[in-house]
Structure 1
Amino acid sequence: MPSKEDKSTKRLIVEGEQDKRVIPYLIEANGIPWKKGNEPVYIQPRGGNDFSNYWISARLKEAGLTHLGLILDADDDSSTSWQRMRDACLPSIRDIPQEIPETGLIHITNTGIKFGIWIMPDNRLKGMLETFLAYMISDENQPLWKYAQEVVEESKNRGAEFISFHHDKACIYTWLAWQNPPGRQLHNAIEERILHPQHPNAQVFVNWFRNLYDL
């Protein structure tokens, strides 16, 4: 029996399982139905950000593919992440733009595939999925969010062992630990509106997703 991936013409590749869990809740909360077994887009975790030119070429040649999106983290530098991704795409997509738009890349390949790239958090700043999710903290929660960031900074002086690269993860999980109920997973926080998926700061990404996949 064909797998869901085999049957899906719209596919999204993300870095990890966390992205795979979070994105459906975010998109569904913005009015796009996401029913198990009838998902509008098939999401596959890559297990890292190793998007080589050979791998991208193979994905673009898959039978039945009409839409392909890639989401990766900016990490320490969004420009470096974009250049690495652009270099990997160039052998297959010779006319890929020099710069990624602030609203995310949507590009029609010469074979007619609708191809998109989004670099977390916003195609400009450094960061990751958790950086983007912090954009969905409500205005009334900003004082507590600021305090959570201060506590995380102070924790390093008291021996906290998280690496600097995971600073944004530490901040949002600290903030979530102080919610009701405390310590919800990221996708649950969206589902339960602890994070606000319709926050204006999230809409650029939502619109990119909607437009890329014609939803």
Structure 2
Amino acid sequence: PIILKDVNLQTLGIVVDADQDLQARWQGISDKLKSVGYDNIPKNTCAEGWIYEQNELPKIGVWIMPNNQLIGELEDFVAYLIPDDDQLKDKANEILDELEKLEINGYNKDDRSKAFIHTWLAWQKEPGRPMGLSITANVLKYDNEIIQAFINWLNKLYQ
């Protein structure tokens, strides 16, 4: 909240993971924004992301990964960018299912989406390429609804 009081700050975009409780995440953000003077904050998240301008405070925007409507995180958002016809997607899920069934997975089940996306990325032509670079390298598609909604939110927030 201290950054919101910086007189030089004009716009602030907040991107956070919903994790396991979307409503609790939104409520936490809402409470912090109210504590520094924002009002008219909706009770629930907005599917298209939330943007608000209030006199004497920076323009604010909130996007809750993966899409403002589902629990999850950045890795779930990125998983939506895997091409629909990708054969490795199903195989990565099968492998993770098997590891969990045998109880030899080293990850917490709440981190399955992280395990999934990093497993899938490890099996690409250039193993281990970071998520962001995988978009620019066209390994991940960027022409679907979820990323267009995020881009629209960013453009509207920073216009």
TM-score by length of 1: 0.69
For 1:79, the equivalent position in structure 2 comes to 23
Task: Output the CA distance in 1 between the equivalents of 2:57 and 2:32.
Answer: 19
Task: Output the CA distance in 1 between the equivalents of 2:145 and 2:67.
Answer: 13
Matched positions, count: 157
CA contact (8 A) 1:138 1:199 kept: no
Q: Deviations over 1:54-106 (max 9, x none)?
A: xx2x2221122111111111000111111111111112212222222100000
1:89 aligns with 2:29: no
Identify the match of residue 189 of structure 1 among 110, 134, 139.
134
Amino acid at match of 1:59: I
For 2:9, the equivalent position in structure 1 comes to 65
Q: Per-residue deviation at 1:147?
A: 2.4
1:200 aligns with 2:116: no
Q: Deviations over 1:165-204 (max 9, x none)?
A: 2100001111112211222121221121111223333111
DSSP 3-state at the match of 1:86:
helix
For 1:109, the equivalent position in structure 2 comes to 54
Change (3 A) 1:187 1:201: same
Amino acid at match of 2:99: S
Task: Output the CA distance in 1 between the equivalents of 2:12 and 2:29.
Answer: 14
CA contact (8 A) 2:4 2:57 kept: no
Runs of 4+ in 1 over 2 A off after TM superposition: 197-201
Amino acid at match of 2:84: D
Q: Per-residue deviation at 1:120?
A: 0.5
For 2:121, the equivalent position in structure 1 comes to 176
Q: Per-residue deviation at 1:112?
A: 5.3
Q: Per-residue deviation at 1:125?
A: 0.7
For 2:155, the equivalent position in structure 1 comes to 210
For 1:51, the equivalent position in structure 2 comes to none
Amino acid at match of 2:7: A
Amino acid at match of 2:128: G
CA contact (8 A) 1:79 1:124 kept: no
Identify the match of residue 138 of structure 1 among 73, 83, 104.
83
CA contact (8 A) 1:121 1:131 kept: yes
CA contact (8 A) 2:82 2:140 kept: yes
Q: Structure 2 stretches of 5 or more lacking a match?
A: none
Amino acid at match of 1:68: L
Task: Output the CA distance in 1 between the equivalents of 2:115 and 2:12.
Answer: 31
Task: Output the CA distance in 2 between the equivalents of 1:90 and 1:150.
Answer: 44
